[in-house]
Structure 1
Amino acid sequence: MMLPTISRNALLLAIFSVVCTGAIALINVLTQPLILEQQQIALQNNINELIKENEYDNKIIESCFMVTDPMLLGDKEPKQVFIATKENQPVAALIQTNTFKGYSGEIKLLVGIYENGSVAGVRINSHTETPGLGDKIQTNKSDWIYSFDGKEYTEETKSQWAVKKDGGTFDAFTGATITPRAVVDAVKDTLLFFQKNKETLFNTASTCGGK
């Protein structure tokens, strides 16, 4: 006996849905290793931009571990810390962090901090800020992110850690103050995290192996 038209269409739709779901799952399984590989390449490139190759002699991407600090590192999710050393002496810590204070979502950063507390550099790992405005935090859009290089957070300099509109020294973007304000706050908090945990960071054994 033939199925009624409605039942037959419903069955075909169900089969189609199952096939599509299976195909998506398969594609995800097949592409996940490639995605992870690309993420590691991007991470290594950022590390190489923040710490010059002649400043360290270890495999930074394999010298890492996880930390959490909801107050200073964006949220409660674990963040990776990478340690650069030379002749077994600490050179710098590269700390992943994030902020949700941007204009349109999460901004993920990598903050490099030398052993003496000065900023080696900052790079944006990902963001969803407005093209043409907030995306000037990217190095291929402007040189604004380089304004952190060499800076320190101390009692004498803490008033500088804000955009100029708020009385600090960092430029804002025309029509987009929220994004640079969020990044400045995130970098400042990361420096505070480093100061609070410096000895522990430089004496913690690697646990994540670059994965």
Structure 2
Amino acid sequence: MSSEATPNAAQTALRTAAIMLLFTLLFTAAMAYTYHATRPAIEASREQEQMRLVDEVLPPASYDNALLEDYVLVGHTPPPGLDKGARVWRARRAGEPVALVMEAVAPDGYAGRIALLVALGVDGRVSGVRVTAHKETPGLGDYIDPRKDRDKHAPWIAQFAGRSNEAAHWLPTKDGGTLAYRSGATISARAVGQAVGRAAGWAQAQGPQLYQAPAGSRLP
């Protein structure tokens, strides 16, 4: 009886392994199909979110090129805090440079890193700034994010529009600058202001190279 049991056990094990292999192959195929089927929708959603943010910092009527396709890649860039590099988008109108839209990071927020999106015109003036990620204290330092700012008519972040690359423009009034801040949350305002200032200075210095580089190219 034991001689019959051994082959049966082996057959059962092989059959179980075959079923599991088939299940794995079918699951992998289903996942691959789902990925390829949903990828266009995911990409479209990502681009819509990017353009929503861009529209908040740069008026759509100010440029006429396909902005998300007109970009250059930059590597490790300390001034705007891009440790891992990023894309810098170029806005143009009738082929002429209008503005740069770029990411920046304030590493010294009260609760850590503050991620920003900054638009800078060819004249060196800020078109707009938005906070895209932060961990600042709710109800205190999170007013830097217009979605959390209780003043919807004049959000704190709006004061950056039109500022030029002057040292006083990036410092809170408490530090001798012209940047307004909310009582009890100076650190958040200072971190954002200085990060925008560093980004503005870098963009102004690198502007010609950034605008002239071929779309999709990588700069050192």
Bin the TM-score by the shorter chain: 0.7 to 0.9
Q: Could you say what the CA RMSD is over the residues aligned between the two structures, in angstroms?
A: 2.5
Tell me by how many angstroms 1:159 deviates.
2.9
The letter for the 2-side match of 1:192 is G
CA deviation string 1:85-135 (max 9, x = no partner): 011100100011112110112211111001111111111111111111121
Q: Kindly name which structure, 1 or 2, has the bigger radius of gyration based on alpha carbons.
A: 2
The match for 2:212 is: 203
CA deviation string 1:57-89 (max 9, x = no partner): 111111112113543021421021011001110
Structure 1 ranges of 4+ moved more than 6 A:
none
The match for 2:187 is: 178
Q: CA–CA distance in 2 between the matches of 1:53 and 1:88? A: 15
Q: Normalized per residue, which structure has more helix?
A: 2
TM-score of the aligned structures, taking structure 2 as reference length: 0.74
State the percentage of identical aligned residues.
31
Q: 1:38 to 1:174 in 2, by over 3 A?
A: farther
CA deviation string 1:37-71 (max 9, x = no partner): 54432221111122222211111111112113543
* Secondary structure of 1:92's aligned partner: strand
Q: 1:98 to 1:139 in 2, by over 3 A?
A: same
* Secondary structure of 2:132's aligned partner: strand
Tell me by how many angstroms 1:139 deviates.
1.6
Residue-pair matches, total: 181
Q: Please, which runs of 5 or more residues in structure 1 have no aligned partner?
A: 1-21
Q: Please, which runs of 5 or more residues in structure 2 have no aligned partner?
A: 1-26
The match for 1:100 is: 107
Match of residue 199, structure 2, among 165, 169, 190: 190
The match for 1:82 is: 89
Contact map agreement 2:71 2:87 (CA 8 A) in 1: yes
Q: 1:132 to 1:36 in 2, by over 3 A?
A: farther
Match of residue 148, structure 1, among 160, 163, 169: 160
Q: 1:87 to 1:75 in 2, by over 3 A?
A: closer
Q: CA–CA distance in 2 between the matches of 1:166 and 1:36? A: 43
Contact map agreement 1:160 1:167 (CA 8 A) in 2: no
Contact map agreement 2:72 2:210 (CA 8 A) in 1: no
TM-score of the aligned structures, taking structure 1 as reference length: 0.77
